[in-house]
Amino acid sequence: MERSWNGDRINFSLQQHLLIAPPDISNRTRILEITGVIVTAIGKFIVMDHAGWRFPFIAVVTISWIGYIFYRNQAKHGIIQYWGFRTDNFKTVMKKVLPFGLLAIIVIVCLGLYLDTINITWHIIPILILYPIWGVIQQYLLIALTAGNLQHLKRQNVGNGVIILSTALFFGAVHYPYHWLVTGTFVLALFYGLIYLQERNLYVLGLFHGWLGALFYYSVLGRDPFVEIFGKFIGINE
């Protein structure tokens, strides 16, 4: 009986391994996906930062990339699990990320107290609920499509250290010119890149991205993303 159970466990582990095995994706497709991420980042500077159209940009980017996810999953079955849209290793990744998250919360609160920038209101509640969705999309773009594609480029020998560092630099640069955001996202992406290349789970990374990001905005930056995103539509001025 014990041997049978062990055999089932081994088979299940093999199924998990096969589930995230790199699918046959051409370098051209991988490079095009990375290019799409870069174009999205450029659009962020133009539409969200310069024009101030935060909600329209987030909505269009979210809908567009979700559409791409569905399209690619129809064309290549199993690719969403390869990208990291999976729950089988949720607890394992949560155990790895949770200590980092708790440490980050302590650092964020201490920074906010030191800078005297803590500005937490009830607005943080809807942001804590909604931001993880945007966090998953960001992790999909910056980690899955960027780091993940770089990791599995054919006939290319790009080390994981180079992939993690370059992705973190890119992620930090996207948040220019806010120096605290640049620093925070750079550190976050270093850790996330390491975890992702080992485990490939976007749900945990996106969840913590949203929660830590919300706390960071209200504590260190002293900004109110709820007003910045929805203020124009509900009559609240920044």
Q: What is the pLDDT of residues 151-188, one digit of tens each?
A: 998 877 788 899 999 999 999 999 999 999 999 999 99
- Where does the pLDDT of residue 231 fall: very low under 50, low under 70, confident under 90, or very high at 90 and above? confident
Q: Are 212 and 105 in contact (CB under 8 A)?
A: yes
Nearest Cα to 126, choosing from 236, 225, 238? 225
User: Per-domain residue ranges for the chain?
Assistant: 25-234
Q: What is the pLDDT of residues 40-65, one digit of tens each?
A: 999 999 999 999 899 999 999 999 99
Q: Which two tokens stand for residue 110?
A: 């201490």
Are 182 and 173 within 8 A, CB to CB? Answer: yes
Task: Tell whether the model's pLDDT for residue 13 goes beyond 70.
Answer: no
Span 93-122, pLDDT tens digits: 999 999 999 999 999 999 999 999 999 999
